[in-house]
Amino acid sequence: SYELTQPPSVSVSPGQTAKITCSGDALARQHGYWYQQKPGQAPVLVIYKESDRPSGIPERFSGSRSGTTVTLIISGVQAEDEADYYCQSVDSDATIVFGGGTKVTVL
């Protein structure tokens, strides 16, 4: 199976833009997904298929892909966005893989 690599942490001031990257060879041909997880809670899907946003997710959450890297972008960061964020994709044999997670701290 393959790996997805995320930075362990990202710090951002309120109102600024946070960008979280996720890299892996399979992302060149497989979709990437993003989840937000707050302490003690289940993950919540915030972006699917690189850039689609589920119903109920604020517009400040967006995503993109370039080559083997997908990026989650949080524009106008709010204090409530402080959380762990995980990327996810799928291997060629249908094995689902998560990145190691990125802790977003709002300063």
Partner 1 sequence: QVQLQESGPGLVKPSQTLSLTCTVSGDSVSSYSYYWNWIRQPAGKGLEWVGRIYTSGTTNSNPSLKSRVSLSLDTARNQLSLQLTSVTAADTAIYFCAASAVNLGQYFFLHWGQGTLLTVSS
Site residues (vs partner 1, CB under 8 A): 1, 30-31, 33, 35, 41-45, 48-49, 54, 86, 88-90, 93-101
Element (H, E) at 78: none
> Which of residues 16 and 95 has its CB atom nearest to partner 1 in the complex?
95
What lies within 8 Å, CB to CB, of 84 at 6+ separation is 36, 37, 38, 101, 102, 103, 104
> Which of residues 24 and 99 has its CB atom nearest to partner 1 in the complex?
99
Task: Quote the least distance from Cβ 33 to partner 1, whole Å.
Answer: 4
Task: Quote the least distance from Cβ 88 to partner 1, whole Å.
Answer: 6
Identity of the residue numbered 65: R
Question: HSE of 72 in the Cβ direction (CA atoms, 13 Å)?
Answer: 29
> Which of residues 37 and 68 has its CB atom nearest to partner 1 in the complex?
37
